[in-house]
């Protein structure tokens, strides 16, 4: 695992300004997960793992980009599982 990328994710989470109590709880849970487990980006971690996604919208937020998941036959925002690659910012 690339420790520097884990530190980058840790810093992003620490610096995130929670909008409400629920987000603050999620933020604390994510930091606790980083501090107390390994393989944060792999499905092999039975406690859980980080995924990455993004919403891409037009300027006035009236349209956004989705991708069709062939296996699930559903539309989703871009992103998904990291499959062990912890460089989710790339």
Task: Output the pLDDT for position 1.
Answer: 47
Q: Can you list the domains of the chain with their CATH numbers?
A: 9-81 (3.90.79.10)
Q: Which residues pair with 57 in a beta bridge?
A: 64
Task: Output the pLDDT for position 41.
Answer: 79
| Whether the Cβ atoms of residue 67 and residue 40 lie closer than 8 Å to each other | no
Task: Output the pLDDT for position 45.
Answer: 82
- 73 dihedral zone (left: phi>0; alpha: psi -120 to 50; beta): left
In the predicted model, residues of the chain with pLDDT beneath 70 are: 1-6, 83-90
Q: How many CB atoms lie within 10 A of CB 79?
A: 13
Nearest to 42 by CA among 71, 12, 78, 1: 1
Task: Output the pLDDT for position 67.
Answer: 94
Q: What is the rounded CA–CA span in Å between residue 23 and residue 13?
A: 11
Arithmetic mean of pLDDT over the chain: 85
């Amino acid at each position: 695992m690339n420790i520097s990328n884990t530190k980058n994710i840790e810093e992003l989470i620490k610096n995130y300004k929670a909008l409400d109590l629920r987000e603050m709880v999620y933020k604390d849970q994510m930091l606790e997960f980083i501090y107390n487990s390994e393989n944060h980006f792999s499905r092999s971690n039975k406690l859980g793992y980080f995924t990455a996604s993004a919403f891409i919208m037009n300027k006035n937020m009236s349209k956004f980009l989705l991708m069709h998941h062939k296996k699930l036959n559903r539309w989703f925002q871009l992103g998904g599982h990291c499959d062990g690659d912890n460089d989710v910012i790339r």
